[in-house]
Amino acid sequence: MPTSRDGIFDYGVEMRKRTPPKMKVVVDERLTLIKQDTKKGRLRYYPYNINWNYGLLPQSWEDPSFAFNES
C-alpha cells in the first residue's frame, strides 16, 4: 500500500500530458522502472493527444500471490 508523509503521496507518471510515447511500469525488473512499452520488438506510441498526466501510486498494483479474504 502506498505510504503518506503528512498527506503527501508519491506518484509515478507513465505518460506525460501531450506526449505520444506509450510508457509502462515494469514490475518484474529491479526498482520498478518506467520505460517505453514495446510490441513485437517495436516501440509503442499513443495515437491520440491526452490532456492529463497518466500514472499510478507506486506499489499499488495487484499482487497475484495475495488472496483477499472478505470474511
Query: Is the residue at 65 inside a domain?
Result: no
Q: Is residue 8 part of a domain?
A: no
Count of domains observed in the chain = 1
Give the separation between CA 6 and CA 38, rounded to whole angstroms: 37
37 in any annotated domain: yes
Which residues are annotated as catalytic? 46
Domain annotation covers residue 55: yes
pLDDT confidence of residue 43: 94
Structural domain containing residue 28: 22-60
Residue with the larger pLDDT of the pair 49 and 41: 41
d(CA 23, CA 37): 5
**Angle CA 27–70–2, to nearest 5:** 35
Residue 41 lies in a domain: yes
Q: Which tens digit of pLDDT belongs to each residue from 22-47?
A: 888 887 777 767 888 899 999 999 88
